[in-house]
Chain A
Amino acid sequence: MKILIVSTIVPFIKGGGTFIVDWLDQILKKYGHESEVIKIPFHSYAPEMVEQMLALRLLDVKDYADLLIAVRYPSYVIDHPNKVLWLLHQFRQIYDLWGTPHGDIPCTPENQQVRETIIQSDNLYLRQAKKIYTISKVVSGRLKRYNDIDSEVLYPPLMDAQKYRCQEAGDYLFYPSRITTPKRQYLAIESMKYTRSKAKLIIAGSPDTPEQLDHINSIVEKNHLQNKVKIIGNWISQDEKIDLFANALGCLFIPYEEDYGYVTLEAYYSRKPVITCSDSGGVVELVEDGVTGKIVPPEPKAIAEAIDSLFFNRAQAAKLGQAGYQKLSSMNISWDRVVEKITG
């Protein structure tokens, strides 16, 4: 089958949302399909969003492929008679983040109008898909709540999961992620003020802007946490990442209202427990408190306590990590299933 995968990107920003597209492309080819990826730049600046959506709608690719898979918003406005969505998320700024401190679009009359237009076009164009899959219950839940659209959860698998391994549990918690405010690396650092154990924190990731990196570096300095916190402020290779997971005591992953989060999967494949927060969204679907990790309120002291308890009880930490690994196999998160669902 000829399959076109369409998604949107912010040029030069890599993350889960770009990997899922590239991986899906590789897997479809492995299954004998002809596939091609189209990544259209999209810029989430409210006054220019509607015209960019119009641009996507104007692109006519109907003749070029038997199946169109749309991934990141708002690529699903592209027209195709056989369109399947694997929705990463909608434009959250106008849905769950609207009017909250996490929203960055002021509630002006103009923006209100932009919001209305996007909601209406979501209502219209999402429904034109033959099937709608999302990457997590959180995303499906929002789609139901705000647009009254039903969907099925299809958890994205990792690529090369077998490369992750568990070695000796060291004395550090590992937090790999893009360095950006919603990932709350600042909260991870602040919690290190309150740890009583010798646990350390290693943060690794490419900062969205140099300012974001400066900001978390300044928190480390202000609190004299240089001995406890190490920041690797750039994109690390797959091999480095696997090593850092393999030797970690556990993984800290505390984004605000994340949609899914590959980090949890990577930790579990490395048999490491995951500490997350009760408001971390999709991550909470994969972490069971006291079974595969710990779920705590998004407060430095509570996080510090969870870190210390892993440090002081290593046998327990190992057991949680092992349980995480088993949880993954029981959830049937596999590429076989993804291909069957999407192309079936």
Chain B
Amino acid sequence: MKIAIVNVCIPFIYGGAEFLADSLKNKLIEYGHQAIIVKIPFKWYPPQRIIEHMLACRLLRCENVDRVIALKFPAYYIKHPDKILWLLHQHRQAYDLWGTPYQDIPSTPDGLRIRQTIIQSDNAFIKEAKKIYTNSDVVSGRLKRFNGIDSEVLYPPLMDAEKFRCSEFGDYLFYPSRIILGKRQYLAVESMKYTRSGAKLIVAGHPDTPEQLEYIKSIIEKNHLQSKVKIIGHWISQEEKSDLYANALGCIYIPYDEDSYGYVSLEAYQSGKPVITCSDSGGTLAVVENDITGYVVPPEPQALAETIDKLYFDKVQSARLGQAGREKLSTMNITWERVMRCLAA
């Protein structure tokens, strides 16, 4: 089959969604399909731009393609007779973030109209898909609650899961992710002020802007945490990453209110390491169970510091939690075989 994976993009930004699209493409090819990724640029400011990009996606055509797999808002508006959704995001500012500080669209008459247009278009166009999958319980729940649309959860597997391994339990917690406010690296760094053990923190990732990186560094300096925190402020290779996982004491992944569990959790468990996450991190809670596969704590530096110390002082327990995480993954049926059955059969 000739399959186009249709996604939106912000040029020069590469994150989990882009990685998922690349992985999906490679797997489709491995399974004997022809596959390409179609990236449509997206801009959300000023809010009027949202509507214009929705319209653009609707007006584009994807010919010479047997099937479209659409991932994100508003790429899934593209017209195609054989369209399947693997929904990673709606435009959350119009839904659950409306009425929060992250709303972004003003509550003016114009803003309200934009919000209405997004909701109505989602109501009308999402249903065109032959089948609707989402990447998490959170996304499926939201789609049901706000749009009354049923969907099935299809968890995204890791690419090259076999490359992750567990070597030893070192003295550092590992936090790999794009460096951006929503991932709250600043919170991870601040928690290191309160640790009493010899635990260290390694933060690695590409900053969305140079300012974000400067900000994190300034927190370290202000608190004299240079000996406890190391920042690798750029994208690291797969090998470096799997090495850093393999020798970590555990993993910290504390984004604010994410939809999916994030690759970080999968990678950590695949490496046999426990995951510390926050009670408001969203999707991670689908895989991180407190005291079973890691720790779920309130988003406060002292609480985080306490769990970091706990892992440091009881490495046997860390290993046990990490092992339980790995076992949990296998019971959840997060496999590419299943993804191929759902999306490319």
Contact = CB atoms under 8 A, between A and B. Distances in A.
A10 B58 CA distance: 17
Interface in A33-63: 34, 36, 38-43, 45, 48, 51-52, 54-56, 58-61, 63
Contacts of A40: 38, 40, 60
Q: Quick one: which of A12, A13, A51 has the most chain B CB within 10 A?
A: A12
B25 interface: no
Given A63-B43, A65-B11, A41 B63 contact: yes
B11 A61 contact: yes
A263 interface: no
Nearest to B2: A12
B34 interface: yes
Contact of A61 (B2, B43, B62): B43
B9 interface: yes
Contacts of A54: 55-56, 59
A42 B65 contact: no
A210 interface: no
B40 to A, nearest CB: 7
Contact of A34 (B12, B43, B65): B12
B61 A59 contact: no
A12 B65 contact: yes
A45 B36 CA distance: 21
- Contact residues on B (Cβ < 8 Å of other chain), bracket: 20 to 34
Contact of A11 (B11, B55, B63): B63
Contact of B41 (A11, A41, A48, A59): A59
Given A38-B11, A60-B49, A60-B52, A12 B40 contact: no
Q: Quick one: which of B2, B55, B60, B63 has the most chain A CB within 10 A?
A: B60
Interface string B1-19: 0101000011110000000
A10 B38 CA distance: 11
A11 B34 CA distance: 10
B92 interface: no
B60 A52 contact: yes
A238 B4 CA distance: 25
Contacts of B12: 2, 34, 36, 64-65
A56 B65 contact: no
Contacts of A310: none
A208 to B, nearest CB: 10
Contacts of A34: 12
Q: Quick one: which of B11, B36, B62, B64 has the most chain A CB within 10 A?
A: B11
Contacts of A10: 63-64
A307 interface: no
A48 B61 contact: yes
- Contact residues on A (Cβ < 8 Å of other chain), bracket: 20 to 34
B91 interface: no
A196 to B, nearest CB: 42
B53 interface: yes
A64 B10 contact: yes
B234 interface: no
B39 interface: yes
A65 B58 CA distance: 24
Contacts of B59: 51-52, 54-55, 58
B22 to A, nearest CB: 14
A153 B12 CA distance: 30
A255 to B, nearest CB: 21
B55 A41 contact: no
Contact of B60 (A55, A60, A64): A55
A48 B53 CA distance: 18
Contact of B34 (A12, A48, A60, A61): A12
A4 interface: yes
A58 B9 contact: no
B18 to A, nearest CB: 11
Contacts of A56: 56
B11 A55 contact: no
Interface in A205-253: none
Nearest to B38: A41
A42 to B, nearest CB: 7
A59 B58 CA distance: 12
A11 B69 CA distance: 14
B57 interface: yes
Interface string A4-29: 10000011110000000000000000
Interface string B89-101: 0000000000000
B55 A61 contact: no
A316 to B, nearest CB: 44
A55 B56 CA distance: 4
Contacts of B2: 11-12
Instruction: Give the 10 A-B residue pairs with the shortest CB-CB distance, closest first.
Output: A55-B59, A58-B56, A43-B63, A55-B56, A64-B11, A43-B61, A58-B52, A51-B59, A60-B43, A55-B60
Interface of A: 2, 4, 10-13, 34, 36, 38-43, 45, 48, 51-52, 54-56, 58-61, 63-65
Given A11-B36, A11-B65, A55-B59, 6 more contacts: A10-B63, A11-B2, A11-B62, A12-B2, A41-B65, A56-B56
23 contacts: A2-B11, A11-B2, A11-B4, A11-B36, A11-B62, A39-B39, A42-B61, A43-B61, A43-B62, A43-B64, A45-B61, A52-B59, A52-B61, A55-B59, A55-B60, A58-B52, A58-B53, A59-B41, A59-B56, A60-B49, A60-B53, A61-B11, A64-B43
